[in-house]
Amino acid sequence: MVGIIIASHGEFAKGIYQSGKMIFGEQANVAPVTLMPSEGPEDIKKKMLDAIASFDDDKEIIFMCDLWSGTPFNQASSLLNGHEDHWAIMTGLNLPMLLEAYAARFSSESSHEIVAKVAGVAKDGVKVLPETIKIEGEEKKAKPADSMPKGAIPEGTVIGDGKIKYVLARIDTRLLHGQVATTWTKTTNPNRIIAVSDNVAHDALRKQMIEQAAPPGVKANVTTIDKMIKVDKDPRFGNTRAMLLFETPQDALRAIEGGVSIKELNLGSMAHSEGKVVCTKAVSMGKDDVETFEKLQKLGVKIVVKKVPADSEENFDEIMKKAKEGLGL
């Protein structure tokens, strides 16, 4: 796997490394190196060499530095000499750029290929609100093509094979957030993220926040459970690769009982509240939750417990057992 060295003035490299770990999970062959006020060029160069020595393979390396022409960049540049065919340097480090590099390592073993892909994402990661702010020197970008059918398409029209494709169905109290918008989106490649929630569909502010949180190239929207059941049966959605997000297992059960063809549910998080017991760091359950999951399992739905794709799958039976014991069931 391509090695990544994150290099910065001060603790920035360690901070963004921790942020990436929180969103994308533990990563092999990645090391943050820092240039502290009391240190000089040779100190960070040694840290870079030590990091490279700790990797499984030093053939393909990417240096992600904070500033062009800064000391971390200059020392990385000196190490690049003689390795130009397999090593590469990027500057202007930001979190979208780092996460894209993590994702790209799954499909490419070339540092040059990864850098070529990541460079555009780093620029696209700079966004502003309100959208009325005009960014100097930037022309208005065309919006990504919408894969969903337009209102003008007559009912009964069959697009593609007429069946919506579900690349991921997830239960997550927070619905669309960093781990979902980056990690899961990159590993499942949807062209539409759909938050299925009656509560959010009738909450204008939450609905707007979810729609704005969509990653580049992916459309996000919020719908009610009943409308999602209708969409599942609509042949006009045949070219749609959808990621479904549910706040609760109860919402997921309603959708599945209504005919939404989901065979697997990713359990990401369920917030703690009064009457619930803590089962894992991310999952708390009440009596109704336990009963709902049992109904889902009887319907043949597999429950996969993972916060991010890189995590190992947790034992759902053990989680249910802990919930029942804590609730006295």
CA separation for the pair 36, 106 (Å, rounded): 32
> Where do we find the tokens 């892909």?
117
Which residues 6+ apart lie within 8 Å of 4 measured at CB?
A: 27, 29, 30, 31, 61, 62, 64, 98, 101, 102, 105
Strands (E), the chain: 3-9, 30-35, 61-65, 87-91, 165-172, 192-196, 219-223, 241-246, 264-269, 277-278, 284-285, 302-305
111, 61 contact by CB (below 8 A): yes
Distance (Å, whole) CA 296 – CA 289:
10
* 314, two tokens: 């947790």
Radius of gyration of the chain (CA): 23
Measure the CA–CA gap between 287 and 277, rounded to whole angstroms: 9
Residues 6 or more apart whose CB falls under 8 angstroms from that of 294 comprise 320
pLDDT at 140: 52
Q: Are 303 and 265 in contact (CB under 8 A)?
A: yes
Give the model's pLDDT for residue 139: 60
Q: What is the pTM of this model?
A: 0.73
Helices 249-257 and 287-298 cross at an angle (nearest 10°) of: 30
Q: In this predicted structure, what is the pLDDT of residue 209?
A: 85
The runs of H, that is alpha helices, within 243-315 are 249-257, 287-298
Supply the residues annotated as catalytic.
Answer: 9, 177
Q: What are the residue ranges in the chain where pLDDT is below 70?
A: 137-152
pLDDT of residue 284: 95
- Residue 65 CB: number of other CB atoms within 10 A? 26
Strand partners, 241: 165
pLDDT value of residue 151: 53
